[in-house]
Amino acid sequence: MSKKLTVAAVVIGRNEGQRLVRCLQSLVPQVDQIIYVDSGSSDKSVSAARTLGATVVELDRSVPFTAARARNAGFSAIAASGHAPDYVQFVDGDCSVDSGWVAAATNTLHADPDLGIVTGWRRETNADASIYNAMFEVEWHRPDGLINACGGDMMVRSDVFQSVGGFNAQVIAAEDDEFCIRVLKSGKLIRRLPLQMTEHDANMTRFSQWWQRTKRSGHGFAQVGHLHPEHFVAERRRVWFYGAVLPLLLILSLAFQAWWVVGLVVAIYAISFMRTVSGLGQLGVDTASARRQAVFLTLSKFPNLIGMVTYWKRHLRDAPMTIIEYKRINE
């Protein structure tokens, strides 16, 4: 008789409120063990997690919080329990896990020993609630098959996690990309299954939230790009070109009244905007929504640039890599 495969879940969160409850409830019937790692919540997240039977790890508040640090702490708690699972499902506390996902991911990993990670598709709970949620819906849906990186919702072989040393706790954004890079370098593969994995509740309704999250992404481009120069190359080039070079050129051309240069810069932005609209349309986004999203994607290069510069300032000054907050706090 073959050994029963075991799966533990590591859920991370901070002030997720009812979203955390939905997350944990979705996992209870699917996994053998749940670890909830709390990053300084001021709501009732900790008590809610305990009520639902999760083992709770509360991170030391004197050390900067990062998602990577939280996930590592969750894995360490599993190891300390003496019940080493075959696989670990990592999931953010604002996501619920689809029924059937854990079984499908487990079977896929078991069938292919070359795989180190499997992931699936996220969907946005209220995609029509705001332009920001609509953009998440597009961002989450990527092609299936072998991939180079994925988001934080993933199932990982326990031995692979240990062999690469887990997540880098100093990486405050795109820590999942950085982890995936090291998994690939270890010789294992990453596959996205054509299955719904999680339902995400961004609850993003304000421009300031979007701006902060996009700034955080820029920080990730720079930090992960510094650690692994071959990664985020195109993203960093786009940010420097559209967020720094073109604006500087526009300012100088206005100062020297070089109107043809002004026209050239405006034309480059217009072409980029139209190409973005076209690309979104090919993904099935309707024209009106594609235009609205293209405005934000064009604008995103500026907060991205601020995030990249923030990373390099911190790095050069040897300053702490503290998280860039963007979520509402649920009381």
- Do residue 304 and residue 281 come from a single domain? yes
Residues 146 and 231 in one domain: no
Residue 155 belongs to some domain of the structure: yes
Residue 84: which CATH number? 3.90.550.10
**How many C-beta atoms surround the C-beta of residue 142 within 10 A?**
15
Tokens of 26: 């979705």
Bin 134: left if φ > 0, else alpha if -120 < ψ < 50, else beta: alpha
Q: Determine the pLDDT at residue 137.
A: 93
Q: What is the pLDDT of residues 304-324, one digit of tens each?
A: 999 999 999 999 999 999 999
Statement to judge: residues 313 and 184 lie in one domain: no
Indicate whether 216 and 199 sit together in one domain.
no
Full domain range(s) for residue 190:
8-205
Calpha distance 98→96 (Å, rounded): 7
The arithmetic mean of pLDDT across residues 252-270, rounded, is: 97
Q: Give the Cα separation of 288 and 156 in Å (integer).
A: 39
C-alpha angle 233-239-241 in degrees, rounded to nearest 5: 100
Nearest to 126 by CA among 205, 21, 197, 45: 205
C-alpha 295/C-alpha 289 separation (Å) is 10
Domain boundary, last residue among 144, 176, 205: 205
Kindly tell me if the per-residue pLDDT of 19 is higher than 80: yes
Question: Percent of the chain, pLDDT > 90?
Answer: 91
Residue 230 inside a domain? The answer is yes
Give the pair of three-digit tokens for residue 20.
């955390």
Computed over every residue of the chain, the mean pLDDT equals 95
SS3 of 49, please? Answer: helix
Interatomic CA distance for residues 165 and 154, integer angstroms: 16
**Amino acid 2: pLDDT:** 57
Please compute the mean of the pLDDT values over residues 47-66 and round it to a whole number: 94
Give a yes or no: residue 288 inside a domain.
yes
Q: How far apart are CA 242 and CA 308, in angstroms?
A: 13
Q: Are residues 220 and 176 in the same domain?
A: no
**Which region among 1-10, 26-35, 163-172 has the lowest average model confidence (pLDDT)?**
1-10
Q: Is residue 262 located within the same domain as residue 187? A: no
Rounded to 5 degrees, what angle do the CA atoms 286, 246, 300 make?
A: 40
User: Which helix (H) or strand (E) is 58 found in, with range?
Assistant: strand 55-58
Domain count, the chain: 2
> Is the residue at 328 inside a domain?
no
Residue 81 within a domain: yes
* Residues 103-150: tens digit of each pLDDT: 999 999 999 999 999 999 999 998 999 999 999 999 988 899 999 999
| One domain for residues 182 and 218 | no
Tokens coding 307: 């995030």
Instruction: Enter the pTM of the model.
Output: 0.94
Model confidence band, residue 91 (pLDDT cutoffs 50, 70, 90): very high
Between CA 268 and CA 261 the distance in angstroms is 11
Q: Are strands 87-92 and 145-146 parallel, antiparallel or unpaired?
A: unpaired
Confidence bin at 227 (pLDDT 50/70/90): very high
189 and 216 housed in the same domain: no
Checking DSSP bridges between strand 115-124 and strand 154-157, what pairing results, if any?
A: antiparallel
Query: For the segment 25-43, what is each residue's pLDDT rounded down to a tens digit?
Result: 999 999 999 999 999 999 9
Give the CA-trace dihedral at 320, 323, 324, 328, to 10 degrees: -150
Same domain for 186 and 155: yes
Residues 198 and 70 placed together within one structural domain of the fold: yes
> Is residue 28 domain-resident?
yes
Domain boundary among 157, 180, 205: 205
The per-residue pLDDT for 266 is: 97
Residue 187 and residue 74 share a domain: yes
Picking from 205, 232, 253, the residue at the C-terminal end of a domain is 205
pLDDT over threshold 80, residue 331: no
219 falls within a domain: yes
pLDDT of residue 1: 36
Mark whether 90 and 229 lie in a shared domain: no
Q: Is residue 326 part of a domain?
A: no
